[in-house]
Amino acid sequence: GIGVAILDSGIDGLYNADLAYPQYTIANVKVLYNQNDLFTFGKDAPKPIRKGATLVTPNIPNSETSVGHGTHVAGIVGARGTSSNGYYTGVAPGANLIGIGTGDVLFIFFALAGFDYILDHQQQYNIKVVNNSWGTSGAFDPKDPINEATKKVASRGITVVFAAGNDGPAQNTLNPYSVAPWVIGVAAGCKIGVVDPTSSESHCMLDDGSNPLVPTNNEPREHVLADFSSRGIPDDPLYHPDITAPGVHIVSTRASTGTVLNADDLNHDLRICNIDLLNQPYYTCASGTSMASPHIAGVVALMQEAAGGTLRPDQVLNVLTSTAKPLPEYATWEVGAGYVDAYAAVMAVKK
């Protein structure tokens, strides 16, 4: 199978059968950092864990702590649907997931250790894509350690996918890590018919405030950009998302230890996302470019499977953008090439 690395808060592969470790989440590790010499283990060992070192601990069935974010993201990529009798599945339910858990907060040294792990285990787990539903603010700096790391990862043939950020609709609000030319930056969109655009919680109104259900040129709008999705800079060749994917009210796997995400979304799981009571213990609902990014990571896994795992990152980006559905109401600095068309992208590379 195609390996998809999830660099995030962690994956609960113990409680949720959709992400079961080690069957579906084939590797699950935890990144720790001995910032203030806090770790007591190893002090009497020949090579103790020194202060300031990162430690990657393998074979952890549940690496999620209290957020639930990574488990939700992982499910969007590759949930098997086991807990829902096949009703809720990820984009690429046949993918092998590699969880790299960083805990509640992802610091730069955690991320760098995670990228090192990906490079070290690329061949072992057939890693073809890494999802990054996290980021920061500010300007893009090619010399930033994260950007240097993602460039190295991409040079090894691994597609790097980043969430564009949730600071829209203002201009110049992109997650700078998503701006790198060797990265695929993903904006969040709505799919009308799945999300009610008239709801005050839909995030799906057009930039001019009009109703997206009103036809344009006698054709109803099918896809709309989420209001929170970060935007780039008009006419700038660098500052724009590459593509848009679903990111509003996305149902995916719930972590047993994901108290933060669970509490945030418990109220509207049933009311907005129509998750029935039988499925609520295993699935939850969330919005953000964090949810859009793993849709693209899943599509990349499907593309690699169809192409025999031979696609370079630049080829992946070219196919995704050339097959995307245009969003004529928006500009490139808002939505990139348009709304992802998974079927068209896979068919374009199928051998």
Give 6-36 pLDDT, tens digit per residue.
Answer: 999 999 999 999 999 999 999 999 997 655 4
Contact 117, 100 (CB under 8 A): yes
pLDDT category of residue 214 using cuts at 50, 70 and 90: very low
CB burial class (10 A; 0-12, 13-18, 19+) of residue 206? middle
Structural domains of the chain sorted by starting position, each given as residue range(s) with its CATH number in brackets: 3-36+53-349 (3.40.50.200)
The fraction of the chain above a pLDDT of 90, given in percent, is: 71
Tell me what pLDDT residue 199 has: 53
- Give the pTM: 0.90
Tell me what pLDDT residue 201 has: 55
Task: Tell me what the pLDDT averaged over the chain comes to.
Answer: 87
pLDDT per residue as tens digits for the range 28-60: 999 976 554 444 444 444 444 444 556 789 999
DSSP letters of 137-149?
-S---TTSHHHHH
- CA–CA separation, 154 and 141 (whole Å): 17
Q: Summarize the confidence of residues 122-140 as an average pLDDT.
A: 98
Q: Higher pLDDT residue, 258 or 249?
A: 249
CA distances from 155 to 168, 178, 182 (A): 31, 16, 9
Name 28's bridge partners.
Answer: 99
| Tokens, residue 45 | 């060992």
| Tokens, residue 279 | 């499925």
Q: Summarize the confidence of residues 289-293 as an average pLDDT.
A: 98
Tell me what pLDDT residue 254 has: 94
